[in-house]
Amino acid sequence: MAEIQLKSISKRFGDVEVIPDIDLTMPDGQVTVLLGPSGCGKSTLLRMIAGLETPSGGEVRIAGRLMNDVPPSDRGCALVFQNYALYPHKTVRQNLAFPLRMAKVSAAEQQRSVDEIAGTLELTPLLDRFPRQLSGGQRQRVAMGRAMIRRPEVFLYDEPLSNLDLELRVRLRLEIARMQRTLKATAVYVTHDQTEAMTLADQIVVLRKGRIEQVGSPLTLYRSPANLFVAGFIGTPRINLFKVQRCEPDARGTFLRLGDATQQVPLHVPLRLHGEATTIGFRAEQARIGEPAPGEVVLELRDCETLAVEQLGDRAFCYLRSALGELVLLAPTANPQLSGTLRLSIAPESLHFFSADERAVQSEAIRAVA
Ligand SMILES: Nc1ncnc2c1ncn2[C@@H]1O[C@H](COP(=O)(O)OP(=O)(O)OP(=O)(O)O)[C@@H](O)[C@H]1O
Ligand SMILES: [Mg+2]
């Protein structure tokens, strides 16, 4: 068991408070991703778990044990960073074996461990090469192997893939996911890339300015963002958001007037809202151009004009300007030039509502009375 617990953790650098007060549990054997924009405190949090940074207050516990005064080397954590430093004059085999040699493990045992790790990471044919004879991705795998070789209970990753090209990043991301499933070690993975977070995480922690905005599974964050910040951060393309001018409950649900003082679009939704919405949102992939299926609501957008088409091969996204503001839709055809008035059909449960304080407004379906 290597659950990681942060209790009332805070961090300040001089006068600057970077992390005010965080409570967080990172479950044993799961991948927790710390996700947030640059400067929000992800690396600082990770470094406090590793012991490379001292908390200003609070407790770090690994497997129940208080770690605040335990040196980094005794915490049982393996670190994988963006800038992997391999020993240039050592072969892959010697690089992998290095931590074991330092720990005075027998030569036979070193060889057995190196062969096993090399097998797992598909490095076996490369064992006698030097780092300069490897590609960036191969080097990163050696660095990961070196971190893994002492069988740590905890893996700490700080943007390990951000130096690599896209194709390699996608491949190594799957590699890490596979490795984590096999090892069943507890992992904390720092990234600002939401796709990386969505593919790797059991649990995502969204951070902003040193505070936790939401903790949940990738799908929970996608389907039920707790606030505007999370809604905007999770999902590509970015969620469409429109201002709500008026929001009134009526017998069949809620009547909304979207837009601003000059442009207004009525929308009736068969939902009871638990609060007043000032912003409404829906994702590109959840709106359809065309007539509604039973139960769907219709949003009529005037003065549409195509700004750009993002062609992805199997589908395309269309970026539009409309009377309500800019939005993005899943394109109905390969190369659409949408314009004029568009009628969007959306299932009511795909709509997201937010109040003036940016929190999600909960809603419940109102069934039509027969
Ligand atoms: N040693 C330090 N002294 C002063 N301020 C620091 C120090 N280390 C970090 N900070 C500040 O703390 C904040 C959080 O930094 P941190 O490195 O944790 O961010 P991050 O979320 O990892 O960002 P990025 O995605 O850019 O790596 C930043 O505003 C940074 O400037
Ligand atoms: Mg960082």
Distance 159 CA to ligand 1 centre (A): 14
Q: Is 39 in the pocket of ligand 1 (CB under 6 A)?
A: yes
* Residue 241 in this model has a pLDDT that exceeds 90: yes
Q: Is 41 in the pocket of ligand 1 (CB under 6 A)?
A: yes
Mean pLDDT of the 167-193 span: 87
- Nearest CA to 225 among 345, 351, 329, 319? 351
Atom nearest to 34 CA in ligand 1: 21
For residue 136, CA distances in Å to 141, 167, 195 come to 9, 12, 21
* Residue 368 in this model has a pLDDT that exceeds 80: no
Q: Is 347 in the pocket of ligand 1 (CB under 6 A)?
A: no
Query: Residue 244 has what pLDDT?
Result: 96
- The per-residue pLDDT for range 53-112, each reduced to its tens digit, is 999 999 999 999 999 999 998 998 988 887 778 999 999 999 999 999 988 999 999 999
Distance 80 CA to ligand 1 centre (A): 18
Distance 327 CA to ligand 2 centre (A): 31
Question: Domains in the chain and their CATH numbers?
Answer: 4-233 (3.40.50.300), 240-365 (no CATH)
What is the total residue count of the chain? 370
Distance 333 CA to ligand 1 centre (A): 44
Q: Which residues pair with 57 in a beta bridge?
A: 10
Using pLDDT thresholds of 50, 70 and 90, give the confidence band for residue 225: very high
Residues 40 and 213 sit within 8 Å (Cβ to Cβ): no
* Residue 243 in this model has a pLDDT that exceeds 80: yes
Using pLDDT thresholds of 50, 70 and 90, give the confidence band for residue 369: low
For residue 14, CA distances in Å to 53, 142, 289 come to 14, 37, 54
Query: Residue 226 has what pLDDT?
Result: 97
- The per-residue pLDDT for range 335-356, each reduced to its tens digit, is 778 899 999 999 999 999 999 9
Distance 242 CA to ligand 1 centre (A): 33
Query: Residue 183 has what pLDDT?
Result: 80
Residues with CB under 5 Å of ion ligand 2 are 43
Atom nearest to 37 CA in ligand 1: 25
Q: Is 194 in the pocket of ligand 1 (CB under 6 A)?
A: no
Percent of the chain with pLDDT over 90: 76
User: Where is pLDDT greater, at 167 or 341?
Assistant: 341
Structure tokens of 102? Answer: 């330092």
